Amino acid sequence: VQLQASGGGLVQAGGSLRLSCAASGGTFSRYDMGWFRQAPGKEREFVAAVTSSHRTRYAEFLKGRFSISRENAKNTVYLQMNSLKPEDTAVYYCARRKPTAIHSSGWSSIAIYDYWGQGTQVTVSS
């Protein structure tokens, strides 16, 4: 499985960006997918996830500003980011949740994701 993230860039506070993550190899429609981010000097943190059945999970700090979706026909998962803040500045990574992970494993632990994209930089200016 290979994941290619794109769509990052420089945006002013209050603006929007849509990130894409294109997957190749395997059967994308069967995978649960997630987005994480890592700011300089900080640990990688969970942002959002979408299951193979299109159910979604979000980090509580987002407060409804971001939306994750997937388009199986294009083997792509998206992260729509609205009302961006300078503190959203980070490298954003997409990842595949391990098919062997059970529901009780949760969604936010890095350890339950096995394949990662290369990351795309999002910079929000004030």
pLDDT digits (tens, 9 = 90+) for 78-122: 999 999 999 999 999 999 999 888 878 889 999 999 999 999 999
Number of Cα atoms under 13 Å in the Cβ half of residue 1: 24
Angle, vertex CA 60, rays to CA 98 and CA 89, nearest 5: 85
Q: How many CB atoms lie within 10 A of CB 19?
A: 25
% of the chain residues with pLDDT over 90: 89
What pLDDT, on the 0 to 100 scale, is given for residue 54? 95
Pairing of strands 120-125, 9-12: parallel
Average pLDDT, the chain: 95
